[in-house]
Amino acid sequence: MRLSVLGLLMAAALPATAQQLADGEIRKVDRKAGTVTIKHGPIPSIDMPAMTMVFHVQEAAMLDRVKSGDKVKFQAELRPGGKATVTSIEAAK
């Protein structure tokens, strides 16, 4: 009883953004184009199934934090014009 109540409290305390992180593996970083190719799992926040695709990045500095082969957790948005853009990215633990 005690444990289940604690579990509910902890789930409620998780920021929504943490729950929207998608899993991915970096396939290619193109600093010139400002893009990163990610083999990713499902991304519920933008209703996208698993696939490998090219993303733009919100900040060029994100490209310096990842390299091909890295396992990552990230968030992405679909921007006007259909550009899929990574808005946050971190190494997967």
Binding residues (CB under 5 A) for Cu ion: these are 48, 51, 53
3 state SS of 65? coil
Cβ atoms of 53 and 35 within 8 Å: the answer is no
Complex with Cu ion: residue 8 or 51, whichever CB lies closer? 51
Complex with Cu ion: residue 6 or 92, whichever CB lies closer? 92
Question: 27: how many CB neighbours lie within 10 A of its CB?
Answer: 16
Q: List the beta bridge partners of residue 85.
A: 56, 77
Complex with Cu ion: residue 7 or 44, whichever CB lies closer? 44
Place of tokens 């992180």: 21
Kindly state the smallest distance separating residue 77's Cβ from Cu ion, in Å.
12
Kindly state the smallest distance separating residue 67's Cβ from Cu ion, in Å.
20
**Using CB atoms, what's the residue nearest to Cu ion?**
53
Kindly state the smallest distance separating residue 48's Cβ from Cu ion, in Å.
5
- Name the token pair of 72: 């990552």
